[in-house]
Amino acid sequence: MKTLIFWLAAICALTFGQSSIAADQNRDSDAVTYRPDITFTLRTDIAEGKLVFVGETDAIAGKINPDLNVPEGAVVQINLVNGDGAIHDIAIPEFGANSGHITAKGAATAMVFRATRAGKFEYLCTLPGHKAAGMFGQLIVGNPPEKAKSTAIDVAQDPYAVGQPVGNRPPKHLTLNLESTEIDGRLSDGSTYKYWTFDNKVPGPFVRVRVGDTITVNLGNARNSTHIHSIDFHAVTGPGGGAAVTQAAPGQTRSFTFKALHPGLFVYHCATPMVAQHIANGMYGMILVEPEGGMAKVDREFYVMQGELYTAQRHGTPGLQEFSLEKLLAENPDHLMFNGTMDALTKTHKMEANTGENVRIYFGVGGPNLPSSFHVIGEIFDKVYEHGTLSSPPVAEVQTILVPPGGATIVEFKVDYPGRYILVDHALSRMEKGLAGYLTVSGKANPTIFNSKEKIDATSGH
Binding region: 229, 234, 269-270, 278, 283, 426
E strand residue ranges, 173-291: 173-188, 191-198, 207-210, 214-221, 232-233, 253-259, 264-269, 284-290
From CA 454, how far away is CA 462, in angstroms rounded? 9
Q: Whole-angstrom Cα distance, residue 383 to residue 396?
A: 5
* Closest by CA position to 338, among listed 314, 312, 372, 315: 372
Q: How far is CA 358 from CA 288, 334, 363, 408, in A?
A: 19, 35, 16, 20
Q: Cα(80)–Cα(88) distance, rounded to whole angstroms?
A: 9
Dihedral of the alpha carbons of 368, 197, 194, 275, in degrees to the nearest 10: 40
Q: How far apart are CA 197 and CA 80, in angstroms?
A: 45
CA dist 435 and 439 (Å) reads 14
Judge contact between 429 and 331, C-beta under 8 A: no
What is the number of residues in the chain? 462
Pairing of strands 372-377, 401-403: antiparallel
Q: Which residues are annotated as a binding site for Cu cation?
A: 229, 234, 269-270, 278, 283, 426
List Cα–Cα distances, 65 to 10, 41, 99, 128, 138, in angstroms: 21, 11, 17, 18, 8
User: CA 55 to CA 45: how far, in whole Å?
Assistant: 10
- Let me know: does 367 contact 333? Beta carbons within 8 Å: no
Contacts of 187 (CB under 8 A, 6+ apart): 193, 309, 321, 335, 341, 342
Q: For residues 5 and 212, what is the distance between their CA atoms, to the nearest angstrom?
A: 71
Contact 275, 243 (CB under 8 A): no
Looking from the CA of 239 toward its CB, the CA atoms found within 13 Å total 6
From residue 315, alpha-carbon distances to 15, 230, 332, 337, 414 in Å are 35, 29, 12, 12, 35
- Percentages helix, strand, coil for the chain (3-state, rounded to 5) are 15, 40, 45
